[in-house]
Structure 1
Amino acid sequence: MKPEVIKKSLYDMVNVHITQDELKTKLLSFIDFQSEKGFPFGELLILHYKMFNGEETEEIYTVAAAVEMLILSFDILDDFEDDDFQDQPWSAKSNLALNATTALLFLSASVIRKTSFKNAGKAIAILQEYALRSIHGQHQDLLNRCRSEEDYVQMTMEKSGSLVALACLVGTALATDSAPSEVETYAGYIGLVGQINNDLADIEIWGEKNDLLNKKFSLPIIYLLNCNDAQLGFVRDYYENEVDKDVILTQQKLISEKFVQTGAVTYTEVMRKVYQNKAIAAVKQLQVDSLYKDLLLKYIH
């Protein structure tokens, strides 16, 4: 999907629209850092634009870059809100980084508005609607109250699924006046599956960002906390602020073993498979060329 073209478009947007030199330098450094992870949201946008017979122009890469700009701003804000930005380029001088984030947010919609697409206004409306949905989900996540599977899935669909849906639906809107309902359905599941993958990866790594150490709730942790296992009483006590973090740190090996022994890992893997299958079923219902279906399925893993 030509990630190098998306990166060039990001550079062009900053160079053209940002005139303050220090701000421009900071934003370009953020883009360089983000580009190491790739641009999956921009790629999904372009894929959907082409899938619904949009004519390839340079402007579609500009819109893809604008959406990636929004995602970058959300990533930065998410790191600050989670106090998880120490290893990021925006960790130095947080006041300047937050101001740069504001620039990214406004520039994103402004760039799309200036394109020649017939449905540019509709695309901006989608961007704003689904970005706000994601913010709702993020706020729910920050409240850290999702202690059941149902609540956690709903929150994650809002927080992560809405951003994937945003990218897919903006690309679709620029190509056609009618988006199949399946697009929003599988997009939400793709976001959810991605977060479940993060949940599984997190419990294998003990460090400052570890969810359990930070008393956060993820699918495997929710399962673990609800297990009737006497040896896990101290973990439940930790979440109730009745024991210190040192107790958890001295029992890392036991906790890691319990994630496997209690079935927490298996449960989470099954949940991932359930939503992968739901996403695949929605993709298969699309009335589009099988080539595009195959490309979409690569994002469901």
Structure 2
Amino acid sequence: MIEPRIVEEMRRIVDKYVTEPDLNELLKTFIQDKAAEGSQWSNITRYTHYMLGGDSPRIDLAAAMTEIILLSFDIIDDLQDGDNKEKPWIVCSHAFTLNGILAFLFSFMTEVSVLQESNGQAPLLMEKLGAILSQSINGQQIDLNDSISSESDYLTMIEKKSGSLLRFACSMGYLLIPDLDQRTIHTMDQLANYIGMISQLDNDIRDVLRFDVKNDLLQKKRTLPVLFLLMEKDEHFPYIQQYYNGQLTYNEFVLRKRECIHYIEDSGCIEYCKIIQSLHTDQANQLFESLPGLSPWKEKFKGITFAKQIQEVG
């Protein structure tokens, strides 16, 4: 769960900027739902700050702002994908949800000015954060517009979409540290990109093996395991290609779900994706080991980001 003091800071931000009672209450419902999920975004911001030697009294505010902006991105993602139908931002009026997203975004922009006053890097802060978030939106557009046709396309997309979100969470921590050297910033940004990509590969491996509304095959997404499957020309199981080409309907494809899961498990696509993931994990570990950091925060950061993948590779 998100730490209670971070949740309270998020609620305080809502109270400060959202005065319409029904919208105020709705946004707090969104926050409570996200808090119960076990989000680690605020911890990534806090641990980055502390492991690189930060001691800003504004770090809880920065961590709460990280959670707010990434909750907004989660809501947008759910609206675009049409899944997670039980979420409060899906079951309520979508017009209200859109107002909620705008309220979160503009609250974030205004609160950045408070952080700017405390770190003496006013021009840098909003410029860098805006550029990072714009990259993630570009990655999301690539994911939506069906333009991915190769492993290279996919890796570029997840670096923009998922790597940028990790960079954002880390930047919210280290941009509060005055005079942090550029080499450390560059290493931290590279590390965050790899961690985001590792995490997205994890999600895509998991999602291709589930057969509910979040299954990437049913959504006709082109993730790395799906690209592998689409390249396989198996006359005994042509149904994935036929479904993507429009020769099979959704219902006809779902009827073959048990057969499809067995095919995926035997195809080698999961092993292939894990090899790609392990290469990124090796790169992340090398960057992490070269990064200066204070204990126990450096160990805590690794523990909530990519320690699990290090263990699996080892």
Please state which band the TM-score falls in when normalised by the shorter chain: over 0.9
Amino acid at match of 2:250: K
Count of aligned pairs between the two proteins: 300
Moved more, 158-167 or 112-121: 112-121
1:116-174 Cα offsets, whole Å, 9 max, x none, are 32235422222211010000001111102212111111101100110110111221121
The Cα shift of 1:39 comes to: 3.5
**Alignment-derived partner of residue 6 in structure 1:** 6
Q: How does 1:218-229 map to 2 (within 5 A)?
A: 218-229=223-234
The Cα shift of 1:264 comes to: 0.7
- In 2, Cα distance between the equivalents of 1:188 and 1:176? 23
**Alignment-derived partner of residue 311 in structure 2:** none
- In 1, Cα distance between the equivalents of 2:300 and 2:127? 27
- In 2, Cα distance between the equivalents of 1:146 and 1:54? 40
Amino acid at match of 1:186: L
Q: 1:3 to 1:227 in 2, by over 3 A?
A: same
Moved more, 3-12 or 177-186: 177-186
Amino acid at match of 1:159: K
**Alignment-derived partner of residue 63 in structure 1:** 62
Moved more, 108-117 or 70-79: 108-117
Structure 2 residue 220 is the aligned partner of structure 1 residue 215: yes
**Alignment-derived partner of residue 136 in structure 1:** 138
CA contact (8 A) 2:56 2:176 kept: no
- In 1, Cα distance between the equivalents of 2:123 and 2:47? 20
Moved more, 129-138 or 43-52: 43-52
The Cα shift of 1:295 comes to: 2.2
Q: Can you give the 5+ residue segments of structure 1 that lack an aligned partner in the other structure?
A: none
| TM-score of the pair, normalised by structure 2 | 0.90
CA contact (8 A) 1:280 1:297 kept: no
Q: 1:120 to 1:84 in 2, by over 3 A?
A: farther
Residue 109 of structure 1 aligns to a residue whose secondary structure is helix
Moved more, 190-199 or 225-234: 225-234
1:228-270 Cα offsets, whole Å, 9 max, x none, are 3222322101101122123321221221112121201111122
CA contact (8 A) 2:2 2:40 kept: no
| TM-score of the pair, normalised by structure 1 | 0.94
The Cα shift of 1:114 comes to: 1.9
**Alignment-derived partner of residue 111 in structure 2:** 111
CA contact (8 A) 2:27 2:100 kept: yes
Residue 22 of structure 1 aligns to a residue whose secondary structure is helix
- In 2, Cα distance between the equivalents of 1:2 and 1:87? 20
Structure 2 residue 248 is the aligned partner of structure 1 residue 247: no
CA contact (8 A) 2:2 2:35 kept: no
- In 2, Cα distance between the equivalents of 1:147 and 1:36? 37
CA contact (8 A) 2:52 2:292 kept: no
- In 2, Cα distance between the equivalents of 1:278 and 1:144? 29
CA contact (8 A) 2:53 2:293 kept: no
Q: Can you give the 5+ residue segments of structure 2 that lack an aligned partner in the other structure?
A: 309-314
- In 1, Cα distance between the equivalents of 2:300 and 2:262? 37
- In 2, Cα distance between the equivalents of 1:2 and 1:49? 17
The Cα shift of 1:290 comes to: 5.4
**Alignment-derived partner of residue 15 in structure 1:** 15
Q: How does 1:175-190 map to 2 (within 5 A)?
A: 175-177=177-179, 178-179=181-182, 180=184, 181-190=186-195
Q: Which has the higher contact order (CA 8 A, sep 6+)?
A: 2
**Alignment-derived partner of residue 148 in structure 1:** 150
